[in-house]
Structure formats: structure tokens, C-alpha cells
Chain A
Amino acid sequence: MLRPATVMRLGHHMADTATHEAHVTSTGLSNVKLGMWLFLGSECLLFGGLISTYMLYRGRVSNGPTPEQIYDIPFTSVSSFVLLMSSLTMVLAVAAAHKKDDRGTNLWLTVTALLGATFVGGQVYEFTAFYNEGLGFTTSLFGSSFYTLTGFHGVHVTVGIIMLIALVAINKRSRVPGSKSETVEMIGLYWHFVDIVWIIIFTLVYLIPV
């Protein structure tokens, strides 16, 4: 007796095989998506540690400036808003990808990347301004922990931007519409995660004074 016999090993790669994955796994869920959520769960402990370090040290300013003296709340509010809206454009990219609308996908991905870049640009500006006002990385515990926390977040956003741009490039070359839809979804999850981390940072770091 021969069983129906073709087994194709799928889904070892973030990008290409994942879409048909859902049909062969024990849970019916895609490997990459499970992996991504596990990764994000793990990231919670990473950012948790950095945020806790900042919370513990934010009042310890040595001879340097205090948070109240240097934070520019209106400016940061705007850049926070930009990042928040990039989540909307990201979700629209995912929706377009599921509809196999590659043009729409690429458009929204590009807009998301631009919004992200605006945010990172704002952060660079902010860092420079703080530095000029006397808050260096080595000035005080506040300085060290502030730059470490927001810097880690900034690196995450930058990685996200690179992924978005790469995805647009790959998408443009692909001949099958919607073939990258799961990758779009995965990068979307990552992007939203980076956004929710900023939601927390914005409140705990900027809005709540020491």
C-alpha cells in the first residue's frame, strides 16, 4: 500500500515558502508567524530591562541636566505621532498585500519607511540638541540610560526601515502578485511592536516627570 506520497518541506525561510505553510503544520499556523510572535515575546524582556534601568536611574543626573530641563515635549509629541501613524500605513500595506495589490503594498510600505525615517531623523536631531545642552552619554546615569534605551529603540526602527526598503525592492522584482504577503505581515508585526514600545517610552520617559 502506498500512501499519497509527496512531502514537501516548507517554510524554512522567512520570505518565500511561508504562505502555503498553514496547510501542513500541526497547529495549522505558519512557522514564521509563530516564530515572529515568540521573538516579540522575547523582545518584551529586552525592552523591559532597558526601561527598568532608565526608570531606576532617570533622577540621577550628577552635574548634568535633568530630564525636565532638556526634554522638548512638543517636538517629541510630533515625532511620536509620526511613528504612530506609520503603524496605520503599515497596516494598510498588509491589507493591500493580502489583496495581492502589489502597487498598493509598495506604496504603503514606502510611506511607512518614510515616516519611520522621519522619526529616526527626529531622534538624531533630538540627540544632537541634548548633547549640545550638556547631556552626553557619559555625563550621568540619566544620560547613559536615556541614550541606551532610546538608542536601542532607534536601532530597531532603523532595522525596520531597512527591511521595508528591501521588501519593496524584492517585491518589485517578483512576478507573482501577493507572493510576499506573509513577509509583509511579518515585517508589519515587527513594525507595530517597535511602535508599541515607543508608546510606553513616550509616556514613561517623556510625559511622566521624575
Chain B
Amino acid sequence: MAIIERPAPGTTVPALTPAAPAITPSRTYGALRRPVATTGWKSWLFTVDHKKLGLMYGATALFFFIVGGLEAVLIRLQLAAPDGKVLNADLYNQMFTMHATTMVFLFVMPMAAGFANYFVPLQIGARDVAFPRINAFGFWCLLAGGIVVNLAWFLGGAADGGWFMYAPNSGPVFSPSKGVDFWTLGLQIAGIASLTGAINLIVTVLNMRAPGMTLMKMPVFTWMITVVQFLLLFAVPVITVALFLLTFQRSFGAQFFDVAAGADPLLWQHLFWIFGHPEVYILILPSFGIISEVLPVFSRKPLFGYPFVVFSGAAIGFVGWGVWAHHMFASGLGPVSVAVFSLATMAIAVPTGVKIINWTLTMWGGKLVFTTAMKFAIGLVVLFTIGGLSGVTHSVAPSDTQQTDTYYIVAHFHYVLFGGAIFGIFSGFYYWWPKMFGKMLNERLGSWNFWLMVIGMNMTFGPMHILGLQGQPRRMYVWTEARAGEGFFNLGFWNLIASIGSLILTVGIGLFLINIVVTARSKVRAPLDPWNARSLEWMTSNPPKEHNFDSIPHVHHLDEFFHRKYEEDPTTHTMREVASAEDVLAELERNADKHIHMPSPSYWPLVLACGMPFVALGIIYSIPVAIAGGLIMLYALYGWALEPATAPESDFDAPSSNGHAVGASHG
């Protein structure tokens, strides 16, 4: 190993000559010694490396994707035929609540956080994020939060109030199990991950860009992630307030949503949707960012109208704050409010449309390469447009009053969420897999994966438009033959189609999991630059070294990597290759920085996050447990405050004498 100047236990200490200044592997001030493992499970548990944390976010999210997917399949099995017997009413309520909660908070958000963690520092030419330990802390909070929310399954039943948990239905009277308590406290903990992550990534993007990387030279993915972090920064505290109020009501007898005491249940709705609408952009914009990277690469053209894509993304983020009450059209807001929010909602379709036009024009006249990543990206453009159009139909308040709480809404948000957010994430999987793991996902399996998902998704969610317009309410655990209607609009037929579709979807996603295994077993290494890519994250080895870049690149162009490989031929005005990816990398390595300090691993983020589930359980069951959790956290904060982020000079391995050795391998 060598190389990264970080103390390694066992290996370095004996190697020291007695004459050398004493290298204490881990001199800490107060609490525990600093962890130093660079391989094995410890190197993951205590890591502060943004790439490892990105993968940990991704793995956690993928796990919850499977959980949420199985919950969805159970829902569809229950509704496949009249008078379903798979789930009873109570379990059904828990199932759709936890399905949505899991998908939104424990899959799409953490998966986007994973991609952001991994790729934002790479795309801006940084070696890590601004606050690596806080980054690790965020990940552990997410995991702790996800566990707490799901723990309720085993302790008397999960949350059952729907993912927006409207009051007063979420109160102790209507939801007597502990599920909602686990839900509020778990999401509270997961929220810490989002908030700290937001601060961390914004500071990273503002402060840690490589020389020359101006804001308008940043890749669109990084831009969209930045917009998302601002949305999180300001939206998370709103849901935090709402969740606290609900916790105080359920656990300590406060009256916030107790209608009998004169409370206004709309207060919850406002707080939830002030957070909730920005949240839908938090879910979709990372995927918009991903395909804005993928489409140009596989169209062999630069992104059409880069500034428009960036500014429309920012505009969506901004206008997204003024439309929340379109989720409340049917709640009796009054005509003025409804009219205002209706207009604002229609307006938001404009920047979204701008993006779709830009993507289309990016492909226009390009030499399209239909890799799996590209297929998913095109799939997003098409399916999201369908979902956006049904979204515009909800923005018209009178028509929305017909649609609210029917399957039509379910159809809409699955087109934007599944066809949008999830297709973008899959595009990202196929595109970035070689970067993250050094191996390409199998393209043949990928193609099957894609087509089964497209067919499955349209079969599942397409019919829901019809079901909804026929009046099938969402969140009903059975439907009966007697009310199913006749002919083309028979509910039974379309429900069955939707359920079959969900099984096809499951097979499609299963193929992806198989693909992961097949790829992991395969011996074939990915080429350095498999897609002929354009942005900085590809200007590193596969997977990147621990310190990302041997020397920090100086950036002169948008699509810097592309411009290092290609130059315009002055006579023909076409781009011709002047350097291979290997050449570009070799150049960076020749100039390698000799002395690279990476932030050192730490126990404290994990310990600090570990205290939180105890606080949550204590609030639910018995306050002393909460106090114990609090003490764990205090201890962790004490250790954290006294431990420098980067181990002092004397802690490090002696610098390697030649630049080439820097980062020759990593654990």
C-alpha cells in the first residue's frame, strides 16, 4: 500500500526506526484512539471517504428499494382481484404507508445522496467533501432512521396514516399503534442526514472546485445536486417542525392537531406540503442531472443549451416553493388561495418543458449510441413527459377536485417518480458502474432489464389513469365486483393488468440484481473511458484512487475531459482526437502532488448516530432510555470536538518519495 499518508496499524509502526520521531498511530485527546484500518470492515465502518460513503448510501438505498418493492407487490396482489384476501385492511394501510415512505425517504433520496456523494467531488475536481466526518455522520443517521421507521413492523405494527400522515388521522385516537411514533422519530433522524448533507455539499460545491472550474463550467449533475441541496436545506426544517408537533401530540399530550380542542388540521397539511412540494423536486432533479450527463455522452454532442438547463433547474427549485397548496385543492382553502396556487402550478410546467426541449435537441442530429444508460435516459424523457402532462391536468383546480384521492393521482406520480426519478437512477447505475467498480454492467441483461421495466411500468401505471377516472379511490384495500362497471372500463380487467404489470416490473428489477451479481463475478475489467465521456469524474482511474486525482486538474472548459481528448481541427472545423484517456491520466500522474493529506477515519460519526435510535425508542417507551441515548451522543460529541479531522503530521506514514507511488492501491 503505501502512499496515502495515513497511519496504518501494524504495518507502519514496526517499520519505524527508533530514530524517527515517535509516530503515535493515533494520538487522541480524551476519548478513543483514532481508527486506522484501511482494509476490511473497519475501514468501512469508520470511513470518512466520500466514495465509500457514497457506496454505503447506495447499498442501503438499494436494500430499501427491494423492501419497498416487495411492499408494492403485496399491494398489487391484494388488488388484483375483487375482495382480495392477501392483506387485511389494517395491514393494507401499513403497506401503502410504508411503501411510499420507504421509496421516497429511504430509496430515492439516499440513492441520490449516494450518487451526489460519490460524484460531486469528482466532478468538481476535489479530493473529498468539505466536512468528511459530518458526511459519515449523515450516512449513519440515514441508516439509523431507516431502521427506526421499519422497526415498527416488529413492534406492534408500522405507520398507517399514508405517507403524508394527515392529521387528525395520525393522532393517537385513529392510529393507536406505535407505528406513527416510529415513523415521526425515524424520519426525524433521517432528516438530519439530509440537512447535514445539504450543508456539506453546498459548501463543497462553493469552496472546493478545482482551479478554473467556475460555476458555469460545472457539470449539470453537480448543478442539479446543488439545487437539490438548497431545497433540502430549507425544506427539511419545515418537516422537522411538523414531525416534532406530531411527536409532542402523540407522546406528550400536546393538542396541535386535536380538533376537539379547537386545532386546525390544515396546519399539518400546510407544513407537510411546504416541505412536500420541494420534496418532489428533491426526488426528480438528481435524475434530471444524471440524464443531462448521459444524453450528451451517447449523442456524441455537447448538451444543448447548457445555461438553460442550469437556470431552468434553478427556476424549478425556486418556483417550487410557491405551489404547495395544489395538494390541498380539495381541502376547502377558499377560492382565492386555490386560484393563486393553481396559476403558480401551471407556471412551473414551463421550466420543466424547457428541460425536455433541451434534452430532445441534444439528441437531435447526434450519433446516438443506444447503451442501456442511454435507453433509460430516453425512457425518462418520454415517461416523465407523460407524468408531467397529467400533472398539468391536476393544476387545473376543478379537474383536480375530481382526481384527488383517486388512482389517477397514483398514475401521475408514478409516471414522474418511477418513470422519472427511478429511470434516471438506473441510467446512472449503468453509466457510472464502471467508474465505481471498475467493471461494466452486462449490456445484454441491461437491455432486458430496461425493456421489462418499460413494459412493466406502463402496464402497471397506465391503467391507473383509467381506474382513477372511473372513480377507483386510492388507499382502498378492496374493490368489489358489484361496483366494477362493464366493458372497456371494467375495473377488474384494468386492476388485473396493473397487477400483472407489477410482476413484470419485479422481474425487470430482479434482472438488475442478477446483473450486479454477474458483473461482480466477471473477470473483465472496464476500459478506462468506456463511454468516451466528457466530465471530470472520468479523468480518474476506475475506480478512483482514494485521493481521486493525482494532481488537481486545472479546468478551462465545460466538459473539460472531452476537451483534453479532442481539439477542433482548424481546417475542417471538426473535433479530432488528440489524446487518449490514458494519455490524459498519465499527464495528471506525471504532475502528481507529492504530499496529499486525506482526512482521517473516525469513530465519532458512528457513535453519535448510534445514540439517536435510543433517544427515539426512549421517547416511545421510557424516558431513561432516551437519556442513555443522549449520554452516548454527548460522549460522542466530546470525542469529536477534541479530535482533529486530519491526524497531525506525526501520525502519518512518511511521504512517498516519488509521485507515481501516490495512491498506487487502496483498500
B603 on the interface (CB 8 Å rule)? no
On whether A17 and B644 interact (CB within 8 A), knowing A138-B253, A148-B244, A148-B245, the answer reads yes
A162-179: which residues lie under 8 A (CB-CB) from chain B? Answer: 166, 170
Q: A27 touching B207 by the CB < 8 A rule?
A: yes
> From residue B15, how far is it (CB to closest CB) to chain A in Å?
23
Residues of B that sit less than 8 Å from A by CB: 48, 127-128, 130-133, 195, 198-200, 202-203, 206-209, 213, 233-238, 240-242, 244-245, 248-249, 252-256, 261-264, 267, 271, 551-552, 590-599, 641-646, 659
A86 on the interface (CB 8 Å rule)? no
> From residue B592, how far is it (CB to closest CB) to chain A in Å?
8
Nearest 7 CB-CB pairs, A to B? A12-B645, A49-B241, A13-B645, A25-B207, A144-B254, A46-B237, A138-B253
A13-B643, A45-B238, A62-B262 given. 20 additional CB < 8 A pairs?
Answer: A3-B551, A3-B593, A5-B659, A7-B596, A9-B646, A13-B644, A26-B207, A29-B206, A34-B206, A35-B203, A38-B203, A42-B236, A49-B240, A49-B271, A53-B245, A140-B255, A141-B263, A144-B248, A144-B254, A148-B248
> From residue A179, how far is it (CB to closest CB) to chain B in Å?
12
Could you list 7 A-B pairs, sorted by A, with CB under 8 Å? A7-B552, A9-B599, A12-B133, A25-B207, A29-B207, A38-B233, A140-B261
> From residue A12, how far is it (CB to closest CB) to chain B in Å?
3
> From residue A45, how far is it (CB to closest CB) to chain B in Å?
4
Chain A neighbourhood of B207, CB < 8 A: 25-27, 29, 31, 34
Chain B neighbourhood of A5, CB < 8 A: 592-595, 659
Q: B206 touching A137 by the CB < 8 A rule?
A: no
Q: A35 touching B130 by the CB < 8 A rule?
A: yes
Q: A39 touching B199 by the CB < 8 A rule?
A: yes
Q: Which of B132, B241, B253 contacts A53 (CB 8 A)?
A: B241
Question: What's the interface size class on A, roughly?
Answer: 35 or more
How far, in angstroms, from A25 to B209 measured CA to CA in the complex?
8
On whether A62 and B132 interact (CB within 8 A), knowing A5-B595, A9-B597, the answer reads no
How far, in angstroms, from A164 to B237 measured CA to CA in the complex?
25
Q: Which of A2, A29, A31 contacts B131 (CB 8 A)?
A: A31
Chain B neighbourhood of A45, CB < 8 A: 234-235, 237-238
> From residue A110, how far is it (CB to closest CB) to chain B in Å?
18
How far, in angstroms, from A138 to B249 measured CA to CA in the complex?
9
Chain A neighbourhood of B234, CB < 8 A: 41-42, 45
Q: B195 touching A42 by the CB < 8 A rule?
A: yes
Q: Which of A26, A42, A144 contacts B237 (CB 8 A)?
A: A42
Q: B203 touching A148 by the CB < 8 A rule?
A: no
Chain A neighbourhood of B599, CB < 8 A: 9, 12
A43 on the interface (CB 8 Å rule)? yes
Q: A166 touching B261 by the CB < 8 A rule?
A: no
Q: B256 touching A53 by the CB < 8 A rule?
A: yes
Q: Which of A11, A12, A166 contacts B641 (CB 8 A)?
A: A166
How far, in angstroms, from A170 to B641 measured CA to CA in the complex?
9
How far, in angstroms, from A50 to B243 measured CA to CA in the complex?
12
Q: B263 touching A13 by the CB < 8 A rule?
A: no
Q: A17 touching B237 by the CB < 8 A rule?
A: no
Q: B206 touching A26 by the CB < 8 A rule?
A: yes
A16 on the interface (CB 8 Å rule)? yes
How far, in angstroms, from A106 to B110 measured CA to CA in the complex?
42
How far, in angstroms, from A6 to B591 measured CA to CA in the complex?
12
Chain A neighbourhood of B248, CB < 8 A: 137, 144, 148
Q: Which of B200, B237, B244, B595 contacts A43 (CB 8 A)?
A: B237
Chain A neighbourhood of B256, CB < 8 A: 53, 57, 141, 144-145
Q: B252 touching A138 by the CB < 8 A rule?
A: yes
Q: Which residue of A lies closest to B124 (CB)?
A: A26
Q: B594 touching A12 by the CB < 8 A rule?
A: no
Q: B127 touching A9 by the CB < 8 A rule?
A: yes
| A173-190 near B? 1/0 per residue, CB < 8 Å | 000000000000000000
How far, in angstroms, from A39 to B234 measured CA to CA in the complex?
9
Q: A34 touching B203 by the CB < 8 A rule?
A: yes
On whether A31 and B130 interact (CB within 8 A), knowing A15-B641, A49-B238, A144-B256, the answer reads yes
